[in-house]
Structure 1
Amino acid sequence: MNLITCKNISFTYDGFPAVKDLNFSVEQGDYLCVVGENGAGKSTLIKGLLRLKKPSSGTISIENGLMANEIGYLPQQTIVQKDFPASVYEVVLSGCLNRLGIKPFYTKKEKTLVEENLLRMDIIDLRDRCYRELSGGQQQRVLLARALCSTQKLILLDEPAAGLDPMVTQELYELIRKINQDMEITVIMVSHDIHSAVQYAKHILHLYHTQLFFGTTADYKNSEIGRRFMGGGFRA
């Protein structure tokens, strides 16, 4: 059952095409990794899926009862965001904003959800720490917990392991795998790490201003572009 269906979508900036003619779908429970060179249109696509940028052509259909404001999102962090002077608990709690509706205050339900996601990400001991004092890996766990407070169906991740050392990166990917498999939350992840992408993802979408490949990870490994990309023929 599809959560998202994209038909012939294109995006432009100031009249110039950024990425065009994309056709793919994301099923419930899927783990899709979006790969390609820098500037290939990966982050632009994520903005489109979040309704932050409107396609210049084509349609994006959100289906199966999923609402646009029910998508968890972990963006690439800026230096300013990494220096955010709030507690871990406050950052994670802010992920519940879309659940409030007309309620003026967080309820016990939202606060319980925060505690559950702090435990899932193994950062309950950091709940009162200042976010900007944490390591890069700890900050990404906090942002994952925040994203989980926003969704029960789909999470979008834009280069979640950027700047992390190999051991911390591996731990982060394991957490994302558990989110997908144990919590049955659909994952769409942009990543420059193609080897980890093919280790964890079920489907691969390869972009270079257009769609070069979409299909299963197994088919990608056996495709010409997959072999070239994994063998170093392309830069992520």
Structure 2
Amino acid sequence: MHTAGGPAMHDSFDTILTTSDAVAATMLNDRRAGHRMTMSLWGNIELPAHQGARSRVGCLWSVLAVDPVQGTGTVLVRSTVAPENHATWAASQTTSPTQCPEPGETVRFHAHIAAMYTPRSDVPLEWRAQLKEGANGTPRAPGQGLSYRSRQVPVPIERLDAWAAARLQRLGIDAEVAASPRSPVDLKGTRTHTAHIDATATEVDGRVSELLRTGLGKGRAYGLGAVVWG
């Protein structure tokens, strides 16, 4: 993880927490528990008033290491609002502004991301409008039409590199990417396939820095999508 050398963001903070190996393993094995634990840095997310709290503080998190020999774990929490509380589940906690690449700098970064996609629908175009309309041809209210989209499926292993590169390209980042499958995780009761990506790209117009701040893909509340560089 990069901790020095590049300019610091003024709207993003990296908090490094040292935990026991058991705590870090719990966060990996129970993603909802990991979400609650990281959000405890700002308050009680169980209250109705705290709905949407993750997006308001821009929280991303990732378990960086689990060392059963030393009995320790390392967790990164990145957020757009500095933590307000000390984590009771951590032995130590330090917060500093997120370091980002210099303009024109070529950097290497990696992330653990959800690796699911929606296959192209084979429903004929002329049927799609009918599915979205009522029996008399009157358009249904938004969200009440019948869906013709396919269900999400895992990205095939042989397509992971190209798929991940395309995801980054849509964000304006041209990168060389090596992706490999990782174990599925449970996200809100849905079995979600994941991948580890290792990418190299040049910082242009702050796009890599923005990726560091916002993360990549789905499941960002549950320990996926946090991008680490250096």
> TM-score band, normalised by the shorter chain?
under 0.3
When normalised by structure 1's length, the TM-score is 0.26
Length-normalised TM-score, structure 2: 0.27
Q: Which structure's residues are more often helix, by fraction?
A: 1
The structure that is strand-richer by fraction is 2
